[in-house]
Structure 1
């Protein structure tokens, strides 16, 4: 608009208002506030603006719509601050406002999904606005109480405590809703007691002591690089019956047959039948992945909520690819 104007001409305030989209009173206000002053005046005292002043008024209007204050605009027009600095400041402000709106939306969504009392609403609002330190303290208190009164395996305790929510600076509504539910869950004394009973039973009864022992956990963790190799191969569409597929199948079977091996018992023998049986188990795992059961206990719910808060949905394990590789490896190598 400014480019089509005569750069040497002076324009009355009415024309300036029409060209900038500002009201006449707004143009006067910015002049009186020393933001953009008139370029000249008529003998009768009417304000006149040149093209440069009109361009500055258009910039003022834009910056005001973006939320800039008059002090900030004055510094930009005076060359004391750059537009980039102003934009960075206001982007950070908008992001904080957006985060507050998301927290409010999460609280309101939770209220709609529950028959919440006034006290619960106040609590949800407080939980949504917790700092990182407050969230960490709440989770630490939860696990301290869960692990009090018995001696859980040290490695398991480390794993439980490591599975904690890490809410990002600008979380989604779903992440905030999950955090509110999780925070309410871990504050509940009955839930803490239920998780303690559940984990105590898992670790101390049946095969629990064996499966949670450090040697067994070491053996289970040894499968991680083999599983990663299978995921890489499946992602790269490596044929399961290829030499690389057979190598991964051999590694998997070598790991699996050695899990329960002892000096007196070499473990499960590696036979074609065992490989086919293992392949069937892989297909059962694929079916479980397609229709996973709903979390049954409070610990399962805790882990599901942590996954949502952290947006940590992991890549699916290639059960079917590994099953095919195991079946192919059960045949004699060509």
Structure 2
């Protein structure tokens, strides 16, 4: 398209080609008092100058952004600013986006779960819940699940603290996860399954022991070291390397502290021997019962935690047993020079 002359007046056909608007749209904006023609030909045809063409291009852009005619009119006559118009319109668009996300989440859930017609209204209510409503629903769930759980109260508080916090502007995936979680925590079978899993796992002598402060924090510390060992092992870090020995030493120090023993050279030597024995015992245990245990966790408390992590936008830590590189740690403990390392603050 040729250059625009600041002093020239252009017929409506040229203006249409330059702005991408139809002739009828340009006439409509003139009749609505949005952008008036600059002048007319002797035959009464409308003419537009450069400034009018620029205003029409702005109108086209704002209309594509769904701005209303009254808002555009106020902008062009100077009763509002582009910044104020954009701010107000952005708030409107964001509210519309949230509603569309909620609808999308409901529809995707219906498609994925083949939901019944009577569930549609319920799902729509779930995505429209307030923060207080969501908190109340989760509180009711944990009140029932924890009732009669024979563990330290601090552990119950730890369980209850793992709860969903739906952000102000959730993604469709977060809304889908909330719909599923809200549906699950109200389901009697799911409540019974989670309650049974937690009671069977922790309402035992050993379970009560590992839920009593500060044991849970200590166990998490050991699990963190073990995850570090697993990552290093899978990355191919040599067991006799200083880095591997450092991980093994921290594991030995943690285990000595947990068991109330001293982290001595003899303790580490015995730990290395025990790890080699445990390697075979662990393999047998996995074959006999671990698959069932992990599956039960995944279907109950694990599913709850996974959905909460999705809703909160965090990474879910798999609480199933961390695979232990027994032989790798034992080799690191027995590596030349390993036993001469300091006992990490624990005196024999």
TM class, shorter-chain normalised?
A: 0.7 to 0.9
Aligned to 2:307: 305
Contact preservation (8 Å) 1:10, 1:48: yes
Aligned to 1:73: 72
- Structure 1 pair 321–88 and aligned structure 2 pair: CA distance change class (3 A): farther
Contact preservation (8 Å) 1:178, 1:309: yes
Matched, 1:329 2:328: no
Contact preservation (8 Å) 1:278, 1:323: no
Deviation at 1:170, TM superposition (A): 3.7
Deviation at 1:115, TM superposition (A): 4.3
- Structure 1 pair 280–75 and aligned structure 2 pair: CA distance change class (3 A): farther
For residues 258-298 of structure 1, the C-alpha deviation after alignment (integer angstroms, 9 at most, x for no partner) is 323379xx9x93223135456789999xxx99xx7475543
Task: Compute the TM-score of the two structures, normalised by the length of structure 1.
Answer: 0.80
For 2:312 and 2:326, locate their aligned partners in 1 and report how far apart those are by CA, in whole Å.
28
1:204-243 alignment to 2 at 5 Å?
204-223=203-222, 226=225, 240-243=239-242
For 1:274 and 1:312, locate their aligned partners in 2 and report how far apart those are by CA, in whole Å.
36
For 2:246 and 2:229, locate their aligned partners in 1 and report how far apart those are by CA, in whole Å.
10
Task: Compute the TM-score of the two structures, normalised by the length of structure 2.
Answer: 0.77
Matched, 1:269 2:267: yes
Contact preservation (8 Å) 1:165, 1:309: yes
1:1-334 alignment to 2 at 5 Å?
4-79=3-78, 81-149=80-148, 152-223=151-222, 226=225, 240-261=239-260, 269-270=267-268, 271=270, 272-277=272-277, 293=295, 295-314=297-316, 324-333=328-337
SS where residue 48 of structure 1 aligns?
strand
Out of 163-172 and 48-57, give the one that drifted further: 163-172
Contact preservation (8 Å) 2:197, 2:296: no
Deviation at 1:234, TM superposition (A): 8.0
Contact preservation (8 Å) 1:38, 1:53: yes
Gaps of 5+ in 1: none
- Structure 1 pair 36–282 and aligned structure 2 pair: CA distance change class (3 A): farther
Deviation at 1:80, TM superposition (A): 5.1
Gaps of 5+ in 2: 285-289, 339-348
- Structure 1 pair 240–129 and aligned structure 2 pair: CA distance change class (3 A): farther
Aligned to 2:343: none
Deviation at 1:186, TM superposition (A): 0.8
- Structure 1 pair 249–92 and aligned structure 2 pair: CA distance change class (3 A): farther
SS where residue 207 of structure 1 aligns?
helix
Deviation at 1:229, TM superposition (A): 6.4
